[in-house]
Amino acid sequence: MPRPIRSRQDAALITTRDLRDDFLARCQVKNLTPRTVEWYEFKLNGFIKWCDDQDVLLAQHLTTNILEDFLMYQATLGASPNTIRGSAQVLKTLCRFGTRKGYMPDIITGQFEMPKVPQTLISTFSDEQLVALLEAPSQRKWTGVRDKALMLMMFDTMARLSEIASLRDKDVDLEERVIRVMGKGRKERDIPLGKASALAAARYRRTVQDLEPEDPFFITQYGREMNRRTIYDIVHDYGLRSGIKGVRCSPHTLRHTGAKLFILSGGDVFSLQRILGHTTMYMVRRYVQLTDIEVRKQHSLHSPGDRLLSKPKPDRAFRKKKSPRPTAPGEPID
């Protein structure tokens, strides 16, 4: 457990481990979600261990070069650009906290540049792959009924894996066709359910029958809450059974695919932003990146030039007649 935040009088003796512990304690005081605190702790533990190996033991000895060296060390281990950027963001937040507490003499993050991440297209499921994935669970077993309802709800609502895993029975209103989820930053939001998803969820609920309002909505065969890893494995395993290739079979891919199809079906980006639970449009744009083929297809449907020139031409009978040429003085009039 993180130790309480200390006073400034012994700031010169604050170790990097003290800095980490005080930062995590502050995260708990701010009432961040347990998952967020766990993520910070995981990232910082790796950094502290590396600092120990480099004999960087005091917080006041941290520099911009040390932060950059750690990121380069991660790169040599084969870490992805997204992983490295995540570590950079955590270190920047940590050092800002240390500066505010007086543990560091200067803002060492002032010249610290965040690593850039290549903007690559995210692969999504095709319609055929989605159908194969949803038809994979056996409907003769209650677990198969559950798994189909689970995957269809993730795809249809575009909710995060953690949001689906933490659903309670009281959060699922099948009459109004809406679910209430707890998103990042402990922000609740309501997400609509489509008819197909609501029907699948209703069939699943009938198979378990005895769910109480505070019970997890999706449960294991032992009646316990399904954790994120279990749900991830379910989607991954059905992807293998379906023979799906060329795309990662995961809950996140279901979320991305749902977002893209929402836009391609005519949905607006502002509604999508609210459904996804993002506070800015940056991540929404990442979710709806389209391939060249999809862009060409959309252009063929909504081409400005085609729409203009395909309009029927006005009837000649309604065209304005030309005014007669004025006659010169002395010229006979017809």
Q: For the domain that residue 259 is a member of, what is the CATH number?
A: 1.10.443.10
Residues 95 and 175 in one domain: no
Nearest one of 74, 100, 104, 71 to 88, comparing CA atoms: 71
pLDDT, position 4 = 47
Q: Are residues 96 and 222 in the same domain?
A: no
Q: Are 136 and 94 within one domain?
A: no
Say if residue 161 is in the same domain as residue 63. no
For residue 2, what pLDDT is reported? 46
Confidence of residue 273 (pLDDT cuts 50, 70, 90): confident
- Which of 283, 279, 281 minimizes the C-alpha distance to 252? 283
Tokens of 296: 């060409």
Verify that 81 and 182 share a domain, yes or no: no
Shared domain for 96 and 133, answered yes or no, is: no
Q: Are residues 171 and 256 located together in one domain of the fold?
A: yes
Asked whether 198 and 191 are in contact (CB, 8 A), the reply is no
Q: How far is CA 300 from CA 127, 244, 267, 294, 296, in A?
A: 20, 29, 18, 10, 6
Name which of 86-90, 91-95, 236-240, 291-295 the model is least confident about.
291-295
Domain final position from 100, 116, 141: 100
pLDDT the model gives residue 269? 83
**Do 92 and 160 have their domain in common?**
no
Bridge partners, residue 15, by sequence:
58
Query: Which of 13-22, 166-175, 267-276 shows the lowest mean pLDDT across its residues?
Result: 267-276
| Residue 176 lies inside a defined structural domain of this protein | yes
> Residue 320: pLDDT band by 50, 70, 90 thresholds?
low
Residues 156, 233 within the same domain: yes
pLDDT(116) > 90? no
Residues 180 and 287 in one domain: yes
User: Could you give the 3-state DSSP secondary structure of residue 244?
Assistant: coil
Q: Same domain for 167 and 260?
A: yes
Element (H, E) at 307: helix 304-309
Query: In the structure, what pLDDT confidence band is assigned to residue 207 with cuts at 50, 70 and 90?
Result: very high
- Condensed to tens digits (0 to 9), the pLDDT of residues 31-44 reads 888 888 999 999 99
| Size of the chain in residues | 334
At 161 the pLDDT is 93
The structural domain count of the chain equals 2
Same domain, 34 and 178: no
CA dist., res. 150 & res. 236, Å (int): 13
What CATH number is associated with residue 80? Answer: 1.10.150.130
| 331 Cβ neighbours under 8 A, 6+ residues apart | none
Inside any domain, residue 302: no
Question: What pLDDT is attached to residue 322?
Answer: 56
Q: Does the pLDDT value for residue 107 go beyond 60? A: yes
Q: Which of 193, 142, 184, 192 is nearest to 166 (CA)?
A: 184
- If you average pLDDT over residues 123-131, what whole number do you get? 92
Whether 219 is in a domain gets the answer yes
Confidence of residue 290 (pLDDT cuts 50, 70, 90): low
Kindly state whether residue 222 falls inside one of the protein's structural domains: yes
Tell me: pLDDT of 257 over 50.
yes
85 within a domain of the structure (yes/no)? yes
Q: Is the pLDDT reported for residue 224 higher than 70?
A: yes
User: 81, 100, 119 — which closes off a domain?
Assistant: 100
User: Is the pLDDT score of 318 beyond 70?
Assistant: no
pLDDT at 6 over 60: no
Which range marks the domain in which residue 236 is found? 127-293
Mean model confidence pLDDT for the chain = 85
Beta bridge partners of 192: 178
When pLDDT is cut at 50, 70 and 90, the band that residue 66 belongs to is very high
In a domain, 106, yes or no: no
- Whether 120 maps to a domain, the answer reads no
Q: What burial class does residue 225 get, using C-beta atoms within 10 Å of its C-beta: 0-12 exposed, 13-18 middle, 19+ buried?
A: middle
Q: Is residue 256 part of a domain?
A: yes
Residue 48 neighbours by CB under 8 Å, 6+ apart: 16, 17, 20
